[in-house]
Amino acid sequence: MSKGRVFLVGAGPGDPKLITIKGLECISKADVLVYDRLVSGSLLKAAKPECEIIYAGKSPDGHTLSQLEINQVLVEKALQGKIVTRLKGGDPFVFGRGGEEAEALAEAGLPFEVVPGITSAVAVPAYAGIPVTHRDITSSFTVITGHEKPEKNDSAICWESLAKSGSTLVFLMGMENLNYICRKLMTNGLHPATPVGIVQWGTRAEQRVVTGRLENIVHLVEKEKLRNPSVIIVGEVVRLREKLKWFEHKPLFGKRIVVTRARHQASVLSEAIKELGGEPLEFPVIDIVHPSDPSLLPRAIEDIGKFTWVIFTSVNGVEAFLNELFRQEKDIRELAGIQIAAIGPATKRSLEDRGLRVSFLPEEYRAEKIVEGLSSLIRPGEHILLPRAEEARSFLPEALKMMGAEVSDIPAYKTAPGKAEKNELQQLLLEKRVDAVTFTSSSTVKNFLQLLDGRRELLSGVKAFSIGPVTSNTAKELGLNIFYEAEEYTIDGLIQGLIQGVGA
């Protein structure tokens, strides 16, 4: 059996977008992924479905695997001929013990590569608005372990040199020893009024920052109850934070928002939340599957020439329709002369991206308004194809029939319960770690509430946001209060509601 290969990859300080392109490539091609506690869980989604994922997290309270055991796992898996990606928070060679892992691999004669990551020593201060260097303040910075035991007789840290260096001092893993660190710096000559910044969970939505001075920072941290993981920054550059802080100014900063859309559709909403400083929590409560009778749509498309209008009510309907059209070895030329209506700008964009011109888009994106707009366009006796969700309301086809149209109401897809982690969701709600939940359809409301097992009290303090009146009505019928209903029934409208409703 040929030897495998190991990639020692820095995952960055927490924000999953701060990983390098090469680091992401190493995750995607791994047969085995060994990851640390501080690695963002969203990065694990980039792994292959068949990838073996091993948690090797360490915390101040204990280790899942010892460093020796981690080294052995890397060696054993690589000797089995597998591609192993060792995913480490920050940079693997900056207090990440990556050097020890590389030594173990070298001694075993195994090939390995080091993929550097953005170290928290630089990135975390930056996200707090603290530059580690500044031309007018200091031209150097020093990164020091904060993990050294105070009771050591011979310290490996030259405290006197640090105190007199004039550098920005960045301590990693030092919260347990914060009092010791401050005392050593002051007793070795650093002024008690020297500014200090502490950043907990830097670069993430739950980032918290406390600033003070060497003489009082311990008290302030205890008052605010900051814990690990935190980065300690000592130096005059900390004064710049009030002027330069930017992350906290994002409108959804610090907010954790549940996204209930199907997994393949969640990215648009999730990315918007991330860009605005929030943390999307993806719990796909629905899945898009084939309808109960999958023969109806193919038969309708075989007879496509008889239709005068095709009305699309969702992107899912567009995709199902066009997939079947192409499966039958037809293309959009078959729709020549057929008028197309779309409910909503997203549905319209989906059609236009495929070369189809939309003849009608209602002013409001719901069935009632499309009927109102089409009433002057549709003539009695015209044939209308309506490919949509199997469980959709009957209002639209019935109203079209009232106009005298011949309506083929065809189920193109149906929604099924998704694969959201029920226990994880309930635990987050129990711990009050959710600020808002978003609903984009009636199905998302129904399936989300089923995940709660009747424990409505878990939603205490959580604001519910709806994409439109149909979704809101379903929520109200099920006893769920909607805090905000989007004025524009789109993802953009939902985002605007989040900014107004839970924005920082």
SS3 301: helix
In the structure encoding, which two tokens stand for residue 213, read together?
Answer: 């001075």
DSSP 379-419: PTT-EEEEEEETT--SHHHHHHHHTT-EEEEEEEEEEEE--
As a residue count, the chain comes to: 504
Peptide bond into 380 cis (omega under 30): no
CA 377, CA 400: separation in Å to the nearest integer?
Answer: 11
Q: Which of 77, 91, 173, 250 is catalytic?
A: 173
**Residue 477 carries which side chain, given as an amino acid letter?**
E
What amino acid is encoded at 304 in this protein?
I
- Residue among 372, 373, 383 nearest 405 (CA): 383
Given the residues 31, 36, 409, 435, the one annotated as active site: 36
Identify whether the C-beta of residue 5 lies closer than 8 Å to the C-beta of residue 30: no
Beta bridge partners, 312, equal 342
Look up 175 and say whether it is catalytic: no
- Round to whole Å and give the CA distance between 351 and 364: 18
**Look-up of token digits 């020796």:** 68
Indicate which residue of 3, 29, 58, 422 is catalytic: 58
Task: Write the CA distances from 450 to 118, 184, 259, 266, integer angstroms.
Answer: 41, 56, 16, 20
Give 193-246 as a 3 state SS string.
CCEEEEEECCCCCCCEEEEEECCCHHHHHHHHCCCCCEEEEECHHHHHHHHHCC
Q: Which two tokens stand for residue 261?
A: 């859309």
| End-to-end Cα spacing for the chain | 56
Q: How many CB atoms lie within 10 A of CB 149?
A: 9
Residue 58 annotated as catalytic: yes
**Integer Cα distance of 159 and 214 in angstroms:** 14
Instruction: For the sheet with 309-312, list strands across it.
Output: 286-289, 406-417, 383-389, 309-312, 339-342
Q: Token pair for residue 82?
A: 């597998």
Closest CA to 133 of 110, 107, 165, 156: 165
- Residue 140: how many other CB atoms lie within 10 Å: 11
Q: Is 149 a catalytic residue?
A: no
Q: Which element (helix H / strand E) includes 103?
A: helix 98-107
Rounded to a whole number of angstroms, the CA Rg of the chain reads 28
- Known catalytic residues are 36, 58, 173
